[in-house]
Chains A and B, each alone.
Chain A
Amino acid sequence: MDNNLTPRLLDHRLIDRAYPLVRNILPCISLERWSEFAKPHLAARSPKWPRGLMTIQNAAGYILGLFSFEVRDDLHSDRTLLVDNVIVPDMPGHELIWTAIVTTSETLALMNGCRAIRIGLAGDLDPIDRDRTWLVSSLAKAGYVIEGVRATRRVSHDAEGELPEAAQSASRDWSARGHQ
C-alpha cells in the first residue's frame, strides 16, 4: 500500500469532503459555517498575493490535514507566507501529517518568493501545551523559532452602546466611509 501523503489545494468539490476533519477538531462547527469560511479562500485573487486552503491527502484521497495560507507583505519580514487554521487530527501517525504541512509550507514559500514563513497555532495545537512538546521540537528541527506574541480576546456584541468614546468614534468613522 502506498502511504505517501500528498498536498492538494482544496477546491469547491472538496469542501464538503473536508468537513468531517474540521468537525473533528471543532465539534460545534456546522457544514454551512465551514463552507462560508472556505469559499472566499478559493476565490480568484491577484496571482501576486495568492491564498488558499491546502489539504494533506493520503494515497486513497482522504483528507488527513488542512491549513490556510496567504502571501502577505510584512513590515518586519517583507514578503511572508502566513500559515493558519492548521487542522491535524489526533490519531496515531499525526506527526507525519504535521511534517507534511511544514514541508508543504516550505514549498509554497519558495514558489511564491517569500522571505519568511509564519505558522500560527491556536487551541489544541498550541505548542505551550505540555502534550505538544513534539510539535515544538519538530518546528525547531525545521528551522522555526517561536517569536512575537499573538493575543486573543473574545469580543462581546451584546453591549455596543457601552463602547468607550474612542471606540464609538472609530465606529462612526468606519460607517461614514461606507463600511457596514
Chain B
Amino acid sequence: MSQTSNLQRQAKLSDSCFSIRTQMERLPLQATNIDALVSPCDKCEARSHSACALLDPSEQKQIVSIMTTVQIAPQQPLFDEAEPAEHVYNVTGGALKIYKLLPDGRRQITGFLFPGDFVGLMHNDVYAYSAEALVPTALCRFSRRRLEDLLSEIPHLEQRLLGMASHELAAAQDQMILLGRKSARERVVSFLVMLSNSAVRRHQPADPVSLPMNRTDIADYLGLTIETVSRTFTQLKKQGLIQLLDDKNIHLAKPAALRDIATGF
C-alpha cells in the first residue's frame, strides 16, 4: 500500500474519531449539556461498548485529563512483549493483532482486538504480549499509574474495566477453545462465527464478516497452514455456506448451518 494511501486512510480515521467541532455543529446546542462537549469521547464510536460508557461528564473530563490519543499505521507495533508497560490503551478504531514470541523465535498470534477493547496486560512491569496494527488504528492511551490512581476515585469505572479490561486474556481464552476444535473446517467456521458475534457486540452488522487480518495471520491464529485455511474457505464457498465478497469481507450465506458446524454438530 502506498504511503499516500496510508496517510489518506489515517486522515479519514482521524476525522471520524476526533473531530469535536463537527460533533458540536451536528448537535442542537440547546438540548446538550455543554460539559459533555469538551471531550473527544463524545465523538468516539467505540464509547457505547467500551469501559467509558458509564462515565458521567465530570468523570469523563477526569479521564480525558490523563489521556492522549494515538494513531498507528498498518503493520506498525503498538508495543512489544517484554517492553516496560507504562501505558494501557483503549482501541477506538481499526484492529490489532496480539502475539507472543515462542522460544524458537516464531510468533504465535493469540488474538485480535477491535474498537472497545482494552489492551496492555502486563506481568512484572513489562507487556505480556506484543500488539501490532492490522489496519489504520486509533487508540486512547493512559498512563498506567495515573489510571490506577483515578480508579480509586471512580469505583464503578474499575468494575467496568474489570468486566472488559483484559481483552487480550479473553482473546487468548477464545483461541484455546478454537484450538480445541478438531477439524480445520470447525476451526475456520468457529473463527468466522466468533468475528460475527464480536461485530454484533460492537453494534455492527453480523454479516458480512470483515477480516482485517490476512490469511497468514488467520492460519497462525488457528494453528493451521495458510494452504489449509485457503482450501477450507474454498470448500465452504463451494458448499454455499459462505460467499467471498472480496479479500476482506465474507458473507455468511447460511448462518444457522455455520453455527451448527462451529458448535460441533
Contacts and interface: CB of A to CB of B under 8 A. Distances in A.
A56 to B, nearest CB: 10
Interface in B110-124: 110, 118, 120-124
B200 to A, nearest CB: 14
Interface size class of B (residues with CB under 8 A): 20 to 34
B166 A64 contact: yes
A124 B163 contact: no
A90 B162 CA distance: 11
B66 interface: no
Interface string A63-100: 11000000000000000000000000111111111000
Contacts of B177: 16-17
A58 B175 CA distance: 17
Interface in A117-170: 124
Contacts, number: 87
A3 B121 contact: no
A123 to B, nearest CB: 9
A124 B124 contact: yes
B172 A20 contact: yes
A19, A20, A90, A96: which has the most chain B beta carbons within 10 Å?
A20
B160 A24 contact: no
A21 interface: yes
Main secondary structure of the interface of B (DSSP, over half): helix
B162 A58 contact: yes
A137 B62 CA distance: 27
A25 B110 CA distance: 16
A20 B162 contact: no
Contacts of A16: 176-177, 179-180
22 contacts: A1-B164, A17-B173, A20-B110, A20-B169, A20-B172, A20-B173, A23-B172, A24-B121, A27-B123, A58-B162, A64-B166, A91-B88, A91-B121, A91-B165, A91-B169, A92-B144, A92-B148, A92-B158, A92-B162, A93-B165, A94-B162, A95-B158
